[in-house]
Amino acid sequence: MRIVRIGMLGSGFVANFYMEGLKDVPGQEVVLVVGRTEENVRAFAEKWRIPQFSTDLAGAVSRDDVDLFLIALPNYLHRDVAVDLAKAGRAQVCTKPLARTAQEAKEMRDAVRSAGVFNGYAETEVFAPAVVRAESLIRKGLIGRVLWVRSREAHFGPHSPWFWDPDLSGGGALLDMGCHCIEAARYFFGKDVRPIEVIAWADTLHHSTKAEDNALAIIRFENGGIAHLEVSWTSRGGLDLRNEIYGTEGAIFTDVTRGTPIEVFSLAPAGYIVEKADIDVGWTKPVPEEAFTYGYQAEMKHFVDCLRDGLTPRETYEDGYIVNCILDAAYRSIRSRQWEKIEYEP
């Protein structure tokens, strides 16, 4: 088996989850991590036993001894890094959302398309085992024709300051978490079913931020199907990930964080319980093997295997671009308070 050599671009929250997923993926080695501050990137390299670390992003891009770059950087860096990697002919996978806007996402998609380089959109939701199983049952016709998808993503707010500044992040809870819900809906309906219009609401209900901390949206598909998403940065109790899929012959429900197979009551602090948990005493619901449960392991294995075998991943920059187009239309709807058409270029 040829070893795929990986360069991790970023040393923060999502980069750690990627490393958790990669540790159970055979045939790969993270040979380099690049971060913005030497202290953080050095600590990351020591934690994960990565042989080389650097703060020189341009230098990393120029290296030809890295087979695949993982972009685990803040949203405002995605476009420039992806375009530079494409110009250098480098295979790449980018975290969600692909970009702050559809225009930025289009530039990324067009760059990898023009360069003919391998690209993957790291949308964990559609690699989560429960979601993958649900989709397989849908394709078998178990619930008939899908009519309605309801998806919820919620917690009490992100972990890094840049998330709260829409100039840096591109938006609030809708962009940050709605991207998961949108791609889940596309996955359940089938990517051959085009989303055509959206109506949305958003507001800042609690946090002191210029970005929205709650949002709702309804997406209408060309076959008449509806996707309903609700996202929140004001939801207590830790990460809340749920899907409901209703069809003509049945329904499927997924709940990867609240419907756990283990519950604990403890008077003593338990330490880490689940992503963005508020407390670690009393009744808690630890999520076993988060990297597997959320889809990080499956997506990393998929991208590594596809690169090695010369295959196109099932999530690419094209998918990320479409998600950004839907999000752009949702933000337009928030301002106009009416249905907005979803527009994107093939």
Angular region, 241: left φ>0, alpha ψ -120 to 50, beta rest: beta
Tokens for 279, please give them.
């407390």
**210 to each of 158, 179, 203, 238, 326, how far by Cα in Å?**
14, 19, 10, 23, 21
Q: Where are the alpha helices (DSSP H) in 190-311?
A: 290-293, 296-309
- Mapped onto helix, strand or coil, the DSSP state of residue 241 is strand
Instruction: Measure the CA–CA gap between 245 and 256, rounded to whole angstroms.
Output: 15
C-alpha gyration radius of the chain: 20
Angular region, 155: left φ>0, alpha ψ -120 to 50, beta rest: beta
Dump pLDDT digits (tens) for 208-267: 999 999 999 999 999 999 999 999 999 998 899 999 999 999 999 999 888 888 888 989
Q: Of the given ranges (97-101, 159-163, 272-276), which has the lowest mean pLDDT?
A: 272-276
User: Strands (DSSP E) along 115-255, which ranges?
Assistant: 119-122, 146-154, 195-203, 214-221, 226-232, 240-247, 250-255
Q: Which residue has the tokens 């530039």?
A: 107
What kind and span of H or E run contains 20? helix 13-22
Instruction: Measure the CA–CA gap between 275 and 239, rounded to whole angstroms.
Output: 6
Dump pLDDT digits (tens) for 277-328: 888 888 888 888 999 999 999 999 999 999 999 999 999 999 999 999 999 9
Beta bridge partners of residue 54, listed in sequence order: 34
Contact 317, 108 (CB under 8 A): yes
Instruction: Measure the CA–CA gap between 171 and 162, rounded to whole angstroms.
Output: 11
Q: Which residue has the tokens 């979803």?
A: 342
Nearest to 134 by CA among 180, 95, 198, 190: 190
Dump pLDDT digits (tens) for 56-113: 999 999 999 999 999 999 999 999 999 999 999 999 999 999 999 999 999 999 999 9
Domains of the chain in start order, with CATH, are 4-123 (3.40.50.720), 126-295+326-341 (3.30.360.10)
pTM, full prediction:
0.95
